[in-house]
Amino acid sequence: MTWTWWDVGRCRRSRFFRTWRRRIGVARPMPWEARWRQPAPAWQWRRERQEVLRSGMGYPGIVDLIEAAGAERTLRQLYPYNSHFALHLSSCTRYPYVLRVPSVLPRYDGRFRAFVPRVGTLLGETDTAEAAVALVVAHLPAGLGPAVAGSADDLRR
């Protein structure tokens, strides 16, 4: 087998990340409770960077939305992820995700739009992140339990 520079770099990177994860104590995939602590600081940094690069230009309120959704006990059971500024909540922890809960899209004008993912049905627009989260909670399906480890394919088996 012939090794390319890409293969050597990939091996070094994977060895580095295994060592790094072991040092900080992350040996297994993180549970969804820890996942709620990750997006808000990352998006906060992006918002501050946006203010430096393009001062005065609006930026969606994704940080406020993540914090409001994380404060809701029923939503904290689900696995949060974001795509194209929208906050999605899944019933499983790996891709492909199961989307049975409405998603929320923060708009540049400061409002929030709640919608049903993959269908596109608009549930409503609100002025605050807390009101958008309340709208999502009002449209939760019956019998929704905590997120399970695995993907949608694992749930079908």
pLDDT digits 0-9 by tens, 131-149: 999 999 999 999 888 888 8
Order across the sheet with 122-126: list the strands: 79-83, 86-90, 103-106, 112-115, 122-126
Is the pLDDT higher at 139 or at 46? 139
**What residues pair up with 90 in beta bridges, in sequence order?**
79
pTM confidence score = 0.70
pLDDT of the residue at 59? 66
Mean pLDDT of 80-104: 90
Q: What is the pLDDT of residue 9?
A: 46
* Percent of the residues in the chain that have a pLDDT greater than 70, as a whole number: 76
